[in-house]
Amino acid sequence: MGSIVRVLIAEDESKSFEILKRVLEKNNWIVDSAINGEEALKLLEESSYDVLLTDLNMPVMNGMELISRVRNEVAQTPLIIMFTAYRDAGIKNRAMEMEVDGFFTKPVDFKSLFACIFDGLKKQEKERREKSSTPEIQAPKDPELIQPPFVGVVIAVSTGGPQTLKQLFEKLTVPLHASIFLVQHGPGWVLEELAENLNNEYEIPIQLAVDGMQPQMDQVYLAPGDRHLCIDPETFSIQLSTAPPEHFLRPAADPLFRSAAQAFGKHCVAVILSGLGKDGALGAKKICEFGGKVLIQEPKTALAVTMPQMAIQSDIKHQVVPIRKMAETLLRNTLDMSQRLNEQAKLTSTVL
């Protein structure tokens, strides 16, 4: 982190802005202002900022919409911190779902604010260094070399997940002809409760993934809290990782998608469902590079549209599917892949 930090404050109350500006400028930081989300978005598109401090209630475009637009449209995303006079837990939960890096109620505690900014910027720098030092998975010259023991299905879902998964699993039937690996964004206790509820309600066994577990066909494995779920391309066992968050999330779908691309190759289906943010889009591109297929929930049938929209806009081969038809489409793809995988295995054994 450089000595000079550029901060943009989106705040329509001049008194609140002046207080923040005065405190931040004591560190010799550069502070700019916007009186609404629309003005802030324009400034972020025109120039690079390290930190965005945004109020919730503003005219023209509020803080929530601004955060969503920044995540989806701004190439260099700054650290995002929301502050508001509202003390409703629901507002804070919504903000955290939208991947804010900090949330404060007015009057802002400046010691905590500075700690949040310094920690966040250091974390961003560390993640950028680790990401740049991690070699990208390269697609094999011959996709036929990848021969997994079963078809792999990877699913990404966030905001609106429980309702969306209900619509999916109530129509999924056994045999699936595949093993399903699922990332739902959320804290550990929520994911534990989700796994229990889904397992009790549907025919398909659904459980929290455990490190080292050997997955089986016709079962669903849900990423637990604060761990990335990945597939070992050599043993096909489950790996739970404490690698840095991606898109400010752990678990995130992109690590799962990348590992599944390498493990399952063309025998892999990625499914991107309702959610805010852009998790899953880059991982889906990797699955396409390895010959797999990508199914994206039709945005107008999603409770939160940005995850499906970002995947659609990522310039990859995909199929857009209404949620009511997702189970049927998924089963058709896994059956076809499973049949081809069995034929490939028979051919290989005959040659050997």
Q: Are 158 and 97 a contacting pair, CB within 8 Å?
A: yes
Name the least confident of 48-57, 126-135, 245-254. 126-135
Number of domains within the chain = 2
Quick check: is 138 in a domain?
no
Calculate the average pLDDT of the chain: 89
**CA quadruple 313, 79, 190, 260: dihedral sign:** positive
Q: Does residue 2 surpass a pLDDT of 60? A: no
Q: Does residue 174 surpass a pLDDT of 70? A: yes
Q: Look up the domain containing 320 and give its range.
A: 144-351
pLDDT at 317: 93
pLDDT at 280: 95
150 and 44 inside one domain: no
Nearest-angstrom CA–CA distance, 112 and 110: 5
pLDDT band at 248 (very low <50, low <70, confident <90, very high): confident
Q: Does residue 346 surpass a pLDDT of 80? A: no
pLDDT at 107: 87
Q: Does residue 348 surpass a pLDDT of 70? A: no
DSSP 78: P
Quick one: what percent of the chain has pLDDT higher than 70? 93
Mean pLDDT value across residues 92-96: 80
274 and 195 inside one domain: yes
Quick check: is 94 in a domain?
yes
Q: Does residue 71 surpass a pLDDT of 60? A: yes
pLDDT at 278: 87
Q: Which two tokens stand for residue 204?
A: 């398909």
At residue 209, φ and ψ (nearest 5 deg) are: -70, 145
Q: Does residue 139 surpass a pLDDT of 70? A: no
User: pTM value?
Assistant: 0.70
Quick check: is 128 in a domain?
yes
CATH number for the domain harbouring residue 183: 3.40.50.180
14 and 79 inside one domain: yes
pLDDT at 41: 93
Q: Among 133, 156, 188, where does a domain finish?
A: 133
Q: Among 133, 159, 182, where does a domain finish?
A: 133
105 and 251 inside one domain: no
Quick check: is 1 in a domain?
no
Q: Does residue 173 surpass a pLDDT of 70? A: yes
Q: Which two tokens stand for residue 324?
A: 């009511």
CATH number for the domain harbouring residue 82: 3.40.50.2300
pLDDT at 212: 95
Q: In terms of Cα–Cα distance, which of 57, 99, 61, 107 is closest to 81?
A: 99
Find all residues with CB under 8 Å of 304, minimum gap 6, and list them: 158, 159, 160, 274, 275, 276
Burial 263-280 (b: 16+ CB within 10 A, else e): bbbbbbbbbbbbbbbbbb
What tens digit of pLDDT does each residue of 278-329 get?
899 999 999 999 999 999 999 999 998 989 999 998 889 999 999 999 999 9
pLDDT band at 330 (very low <50, low <70, confident <90, very high): very high
234 and 347 inside one domain: yes
277 and 235 inside one domain: yes
pLDDT at 27: 84
What tens digit of pLDDT does each residue of 99-131 get?
788 899 888 888 899 999 998 888 878 766 765
pLDDT band at 76 (very low <50, low <70, confident <90, very high): confident
Q: Does residue 98 surpass a pLDDT of 80? A: no
37 and 88 inside one domain: yes
